[in-house]
């Protein structure tokens, strides 16, 4: 029975990490849009390439934030959460 419980905990942590990374879709679309518009802008005004590139990188970094929050949660779920949940379970059984 204990093995089953621990297996459920590990499996659910892995599933949760996978589900959390669905958030990667958002930054992907957002950064793609940003880069597309930056390319258009550079095509229109090639002389402003430096400024556009800097601004685009900044925008990309900020758009990436939500994806990185998801990444941090996924990493916590994979590396930290299983051990902690199993400890809680073992203490509850005692």
Partner 1 sequence: MKIKSVKFLAVDILLMILAVAPMLFGIALKILTNPASGGIEIAGARIYFTLKLPIQDLPITESQINSWLVIFSVFWLCIYFTHGISEKPQTKRQLIAEWIIETTEKLVKGNMGEYFSGFAPFVAAILAISAFSSLLTLIGLYPPTSDINIVAGWAILVFILITYYKMKCGPVHYLKSFGDPVPFLAPLNVISEVATPVSMAFRHYGNILSGTVISVLIAAALQGLSNMVLGWLPGVLGEIPFLQIGIPAVLSIYFDVFSGCLQAFIFAMLTMLYISSGFPAEDYKKRKNKKIKSEVN
Minimum gap (Å) between residue 60 Cβ and partner 1: 9
Phi-psi region at 45: left, alpha or beta (left = phi > 0; alpha = psi -120 to 50): beta
CB atoms within 10 A of CB 20: 19
Minimum gap (Å) between residue 41 Cβ and partner 1: 19
Query: Which residues, 42 to 71, sit near partner 1 by CB under 8 A?
Result: 54, 57-58, 61, 64-65, 68-69, 71
Q: CA 17 to CA 12: how far, in whole Å? A: 8
Residues of the shown chain interacting with partner 1 in the complex, contacts defined by CB under 8 A: 54, 57-58, 61, 64-65, 68-69, 71-72, 75, 79
């Amino acid at each position: 029975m204990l093995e089953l419980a621990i297996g459920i905990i590990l499996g659910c942590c892995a599933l949760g990490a996978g589900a959390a990374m669905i958030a990667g879709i958002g930054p992907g679309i957002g950064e793609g849009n940003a880069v597309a518009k930056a390319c258009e802008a550079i095509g229109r005004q090639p002389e402003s390439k430096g400024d556009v590139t800097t601004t685009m990188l900044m925008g990309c970094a900020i758009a990436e934030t939500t994806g990185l929050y998801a990444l941090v949660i996924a990493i916590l779920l994979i590396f930290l959460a299983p051990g902690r949940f199993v400890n809680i379970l073992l203490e509850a059984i005692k």
